[in-house]
């Protein structure tokens, strides 16, 4: 499963990319508002594109098909790796069909059901993003949507990639991987948690400690 970083923070993107931990980045208007400061959002997106060897999702804010199409064409000029995020609306799917015909990659965002995922795939989207955390927040079993979408896409040979979004904790990542999501987009805090386990730290402390004892003992033996 590919891992994308869900952020618009350049420092976080630089860190995760240099560490070789990520295959792409997703942004949205909220994340740009949080992290861009006074910098023009298109400049932030351009910089992210240069830092990452993989898809970078940038979202349109128009909500009519023509507006989304025009905005998407502008966003696509920011980098060769731009994927345009289009909201899951009837007009959005019209825009996705046109953009796909133009060879522009798309990510249909704000998907909350498997049939919305099916519609996005039929429109030719490159990715579709079911929002797991937001579904769990209202008492749904978010993983069911990923499971259903996986089955539907496999039944019909649909090539759209399922991008598990709105990830809140490492179990979301593990479960999305087990039910066959193609990608998970993860906030930096969760990505850091994926690296950690207390038994790893405890085990390493013991190995290093025992090695020091061994070295001290064998030195003594050599000297005596």
With beta carbons less than 8 A apart as the criterion, state whether 4 and 26 touch. yes
Considering the complex, state which of residue 163 and residue 213 has its C-beta at the smaller distance from ligand E4P: 163
In this chain, which of 17, 116, 126, 166 binds ligand E4P, going by CB under 6 A?
166
**CA distances in angstroms from 138 to 112, 128, 132, 133, 169, listed in the order given:** 11, 21, 10, 9, 16
Binding mask 180-199 for ligand E4P (x = CB under 6 A): -----x--------------
CB 148: neighbour CB atoms within 10 A? 17
Nearer to ligand E4P, 69 or 131 (CB): 131
Query: Whose CB is nearest to ligand E4P?
Result: 166
- Parallel/antiparallel/unpaired status of strands 161-164 and 56-59: unpaired
User: Does residue 116 belong to the site contacting ligand E4P (CB under 6 A)?
Assistant: no
Q: Does 45 bind ligand E4P (CB under 6 A)?
A: no
133 scored as a contact of ligand E4P (CB under 6 A)? yes
By CB under 6 A, residue 131 contacts ligand E4P: yes
Least Å distance, CB 166 to ligand E4P, is 3
Residue 160 interacts with ligand E4P (CB under 6 A)? no
Least distance in Å: CB of 198 to ligand E4P?
Answer: 26
Catalytic residue list = 85
106 sits near ligand E4P (criterion: CB under 6 A): no
Our finding on whether 134 is near ligand E4P (CB under 6 A) is yes
Q: Three-state SS for 79?
A: coil
Sign of CA dihedral 81, 84, 85, 90: negative
- In b/e form, how buried is each residue of 127-137, taking b as 16+ CB within 10 angstroms? bbbbbbeebbe
- What mask, x for binding ligand E4P by CB under 6 A, covers residues 5 to 44? -x-------------------x-x----------------
CA distances from 104 to 74, 120, 142, 175 (A): 11, 15, 29, 30
Q: Is 118 within 8 Å of 68 (Cβ atoms)? A: no
Cα within 13 Å of Cα(28), Cβ side: 16
Q: Which residues bind ligand E4P (CB under 6 A)?
A: 6, 26, 28, 109, 129, 131, 133-134, 165-166, 185
């Amino acid at each position: 499963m590919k891992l994308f970083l869900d952020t618009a923070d350049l420092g976080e993107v630089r860190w995760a990319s240099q560490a070789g931990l990520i295959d792409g980045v997703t942004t949205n208007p909220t994340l740009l508002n949080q992290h861009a400061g006074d910098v023009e959002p298109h400049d932030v997106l351009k910089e992210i594109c240069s830092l990452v060897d993989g898809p970078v999702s940038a979202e349109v804010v128009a909500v009519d098909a023509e507006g989304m199409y025009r905005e998407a064409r502008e966003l696509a000029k920011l980098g060769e790796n731009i994927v345009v995020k289009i909201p899951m609306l009837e007009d959005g799917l019209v825009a996705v069909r046109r953009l796909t015909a133009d060879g522009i990659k798309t990510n249909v965002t704000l998907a909350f059901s498997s049939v919305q995922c099916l519609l996005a795939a039929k429109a030719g989207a490159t990715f579709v993003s079911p929002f797991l955390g937001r579904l769990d927040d209202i008492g749904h079993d978010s993983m069911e949507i990923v499971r259903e979408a996986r089955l539907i896409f496999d039944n019909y040979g649909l090539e759209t990639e399922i991008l598990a979004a709105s990830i809140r904790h490492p179990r979301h990542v593990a479960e999305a991987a087990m039910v066959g999501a193609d990608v998970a987009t993860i906030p930096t805090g969760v990505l850091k948690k994926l690296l950690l386990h207390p038994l790893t730290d405890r085990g390493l402390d013991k190995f290093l400690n025992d090695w020091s004892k061994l070295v001290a003992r064998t030195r003594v033996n050599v000297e005596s």
